[in-house]
Amino acid sequence: MSADEALAADKLQQLVRDNPRYPREAYEFISEALAYTARHYKRDGHVSGQELCHGCRLLAVDRFGYMARVVLESWNIRRTDDFGRLVYAMIEAGLLRKTEQDSLQDFGGVFDFDEAFDKDFRLNIEKTV
């Protein structure tokens, strides 16, 4: 582990202690979702709050399938605002950076969890003989 990775791990550990509303897995998910979202939108860096919310949804469905909402809720993530709270806690901890145009409000009400994870989720089951 490099010195930068060790410092980031220490900052994350301190963040979880200081902000126990969300578990470590939730912060790690946000880090992974940032990279996933940047790849999805073919960006080398910054994505907007709205784009990150949609990236979080795509990653959760990709990784957890029909259990995506259950997993997110087990981490106390119940609305897109929670993605923003996680991001801004990570910014305050020095784990992420923001631009002047970024705002916590960018994450507010981007989509409804019921619609995104329940009503819009379809299983594709083909009959096999």
pLDDT for residue 125: 56
User: How buried is 64 (Cβ within 10 angstroms: 0-12 exposed, 13-18 middle, 19+ buried)?
Assistant: middle
Please state, in angstroms and rounded to a whole number, the distance separating the CA atoms of residues 110 and 129.
42
Kindly report which listed range (4-8, 76-80, 83-87, 117-121) carries the lowest average pLDDT score: 117-121
Please state, in angstroms and rounded to a whole number, the distance separating the CA atoms of residues 32 and 35.
5
Q: Does residue 61 surpass a pLDDT of 60?
A: yes
Residue 124 or residue 114, greater confidence: 114
CB atoms within 10 A of CB 28: 12
Q: Look up residue 117 and give its two tokens.
A: 């994870």
Which residues does 124 contact at the CB level (< 8 Å), separation at least 6?
none
Please state, in angstroms and rounded to a whole number, the distance separating the CA atoms of residues 95 and 89.
9
Q: Does residue 53 surpass a pLDDT of 70?
A: yes
